[in-house]
């Protein structure tokens, strides 16, 4: 499977948006320079080594999802339920806002996949998102 650096950039932007991380926070967390981070977020002109050096700072980010778009954005939760692997506990946003943003980003990712000729199963993700929303609407 080929690596698409533009798609990696879109997914990394999605992740940082969900986690509410802005450029100053990313710079501080990663120790990287702004040009490299900006290039990764824009999906252009960066080395895989640079991506690896940055991504290792995000313990809850599933690199399989980031690079290939496969699986969940977040790694599975540890047995002890620590925050690093529990996206619900780590997110600052309220659920409704989070779900709306996730749905909008899925639409954007789907459009990008279709434009590239990829056939991701975004409809299944949308259905799961709707089911999750329905099951948690009583909260």
The alpha-helical segments, DSSP class H, found in the chain are 5-18, 23-30, 34-42, 48-55, 63-68, 87-90, 95-115, 122-135
Same domain, 17 and 72: yes
What is the DSSP secondary structure assignment for residue 73, as one 8-state letter? S
* Shared domain check, 43 and 20: yes
Report the alpha-carbon angle 87-71-100, nearest 5. 50
Average pLDDT over residues 8-24: 92
CA distance 116 to 70: 16
| CATH number for position 55 | 1.10.260.40
- Expressed as residue numbers, the domain containing 75 is 1-92
Q: Which of 74, 92, 110 marks a domain boundary?
A: 92
Q: What's this model's pTM, rounded to 2 decimal places?
A: 0.59
Quick one: pLDDT band at residue 41, thresholds 50, 70, 90?
very high
- Contacts for 74 with CB less than 8 Å, ≥ 6 apart: 60, 61, 62, 85, 87
Domain tally for the chain? 2
The burial of 70, by beta-carbon neighbours within 10 Å (0-12 exposed, 13-18 middle, 19 or more buried), is given as exposed
Write out pLDDT tens, residues 57-88.
998 999 999 998 888 888 876 544 454 444 44
98 pLDDT band (50/70/90 cuts)?
Answer: low
Same domain, 88 and 99: no
Same domain, 55 and 68: yes
Does 58 share its domain with 112?
no
Alpha carbon distance 15, 18 (integer Å)? 5
Rg (Cα) of the chain, in Å, rounded?
A: 15
């Amino acid at each position: 499977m080929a690596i698409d650096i533009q798609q990696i950039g879109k997914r990394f932007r999605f992740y940082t948006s969900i986690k509410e991380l802005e450029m100053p926070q990313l710079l501080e967390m990663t120790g990287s320079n702004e040009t490299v981070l900006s290039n990764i977020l824009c999906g252009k002109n960066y080395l895989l080594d640079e991506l690896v050096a940055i991504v290792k700072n995000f313990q809850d980010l599933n690199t399989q999802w980031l690079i290939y778009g496969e699986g969940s954005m977040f790694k599975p939760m540890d047995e002890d339920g620590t925050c690093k692997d529990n996206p619900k506990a780590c997110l600052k946003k309220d659920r409704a806002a989070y779900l709306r943003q996730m749905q909008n980003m899925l639409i954007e990712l789907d459009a990008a996949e279709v434009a590239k000729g990829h056939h991701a199963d975004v409809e299944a993700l949308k259905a799961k998102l709707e089911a999750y929303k329905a099951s948690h609407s009583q909260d």
